[in-house]
Structure 1
């Protein structure tokens, strides 16, 4: 049986899509699952920042020059060490959190964004689904061949937007764009940026399935889900179970009085 494939599509640039994808993978690995994040945000290539070491063969190479190479040639473990170490706890999950990043020079990037390469990307996503328990595709706002391929290949599509009025409006535009390519948004995630405001945004989370509380945005602080058990990870766990159709067995902290009043 193939894994569930989830496309996370940003409603705007900088919505927090890549970070959310990485955190979901880390949470799945913490629960003993093998989860891979596939990069379909070729222009920003942000997923590459979450892996350690040199990236030789990347995903764009697999859909252009090295189409016969296995997916594993461009697969790297997501670095969960720094976040765990920063909290005085080593992150050693029983499952795997991997990434297939894009990190390419402009010439290859341009070839990877063609319609022909997008068809190869769909096959690479299918290939990932045969090797992992879950596949999370990190996609930019709809407007390129690789994002359309991600949305088309995925079993489910979740929109990711900032927890702001701008994000709410962008979410509605994204729903329309995804409908234009014959697909639909199955769920939505709003990512908060201001920790002082809590996880709810009065009047801004209408139609949003999950609001993820703010976390330290620094890449070296990710993934929080590798070891933490607080408010952010609880919301992330709800997202994982809803979007990937899986029940997690991780013990998380019960919300405190202040959090219950806030929600």
Structure 2
């Protein structure tokens, strides 16, 4: 059965898009087919991970673009397939994509994508737009991503309130860029920063020589309440990152 995950940024700059790609890539290592859908229309960050865009998510929900023109397979040598569904739109179409009607269409299209994938990850902005509400409303699991900082802890509290306001609750919390003393007390798992930041060099989770890959795997387990059957060389430097 397909699982739909709303990966919700607690604040701008939380690294939600990058983490969505990394979580998706990690899942493909286990043989799952995964789609990442960009509902963060303002930042449109997922587009940076795609070489060419025939049609984007906003065209899908406003102008009826064919679904297969939006779902872009990523070139990964993993047992499963990672597909990216980016947003890249001019202001006029962006405005139309944020309407309540377009949000309803987004829900239907995510359901359609789920028919051919094992997991659908929706890159979701802080819950203040129609498309964000649609994403958390239909998701099987809602996961907050927040920087591991005092700012991130404050942003998480605000996001938790917004999610409650729409009748939902957060299932797991990922503290991102977690390299020092933990600042987000409610985090279920922590993911360190990486030296690799350019989208063209990602995903980084395929490199088992760093602390990043097992930390992302732990984030997958927390996000989807599942077990990831991947083996990593663990050491003392990973303590506190995985859990």
> What interval of TM-score do these two structures reach, taking the shorter chain for normalisation?
over 0.9
Contact 1:230 1:252 in 2 (8 A): no
- Structure 1 residues 9 and 31, CA gap change in structure 2 (3 angstroms): same
Of 62, 65, 71, the residue aligned with 2:63 is: 65
Q: For the residues of structure 2 that align with 1:190 and 1:152, how far apart are their CA atoms?
A: 23
Distance apart, 1:249 and its partner CA: 2.2
Of 246, 255, 259, the residue aligned with 2:226 is: 246
Distance apart, 1:262 and its partner CA: 8.7
SS of residue paired to 1:169: helix
Distance apart, 1:219 and its partner CA: 1.9
Distance apart, 1:261 and its partner CA: 8.4
Q: For the residues of structure 1 that align with 2:227 and 2:151, how far apart are their CA atoms?
A: 33
Of 196, 201, 211, the residue aligned with 1:221 is: 201
Q: For the residues of structure 1 that align with 2:225 and 2:115, how far apart are their CA atoms?
A: 17
Q: C-alpha deviations, 1:95-137, integer Å up to 9, x for none?
A: 1011111111111111011000000001111112211111110
SS of residue paired to 2:41: coil
- Structure 1 residues 154 and 258, CA gap change in structure 2 (3 angstroms): closer
Structure 2 gaps of 5+ residues are none
Q: For the residues of structure 2 that align with 1:251 and 1:260, how far apart are their CA atoms?
A: 16
- Structure 1 residues 214 and 27, CA gap change in structure 2 (3 angstroms): same
- Structure 1 residues 114 and 206, CA gap change in structure 2 (3 angstroms): same
- Structure 1 residues 262 and 112, CA gap change in structure 2 (3 angstroms): closer
Q: For the residues of structure 2 that align with 1:160 and 1:126, how far apart are their CA atoms?
A: 23
Of 76, 82, 98, the residue aligned with 2:72 is: 76
Of 225, 230, 233, the residue aligned with 2:213 is: 233
Higher relative contact order (CA 8 A, sep 6+): 1
Contact 1:175 1:185 in 2 (8 A): yes
Q: How does 1:1-263 map to 2 (within 5 A)?
A: 1=1, 3-52=2-51, 54-66=52-64, 69=66, 71-80=67-76, 92-192=77-177, 198=179, 200-202=180-182, 204-216=183-195, 217-255=197-235, 257-260=236-239
Report the aligned-residue RMSD.
Answer: 1.8
The count of corresponding residues between Structure 1 and Structure 2 is: 241
- Structure 1 residues 24 and 61, CA gap change in structure 2 (3 angstroms): same
Distance apart, 1:245 and its partner CA: 3.4
Contact 1:134 1:244 in 2 (8 A): no
Distance apart, 1:201 and its partner CA: 2.2
- Structure 1 residues 254 and 176, CA gap change in structure 2 (3 angstroms): same
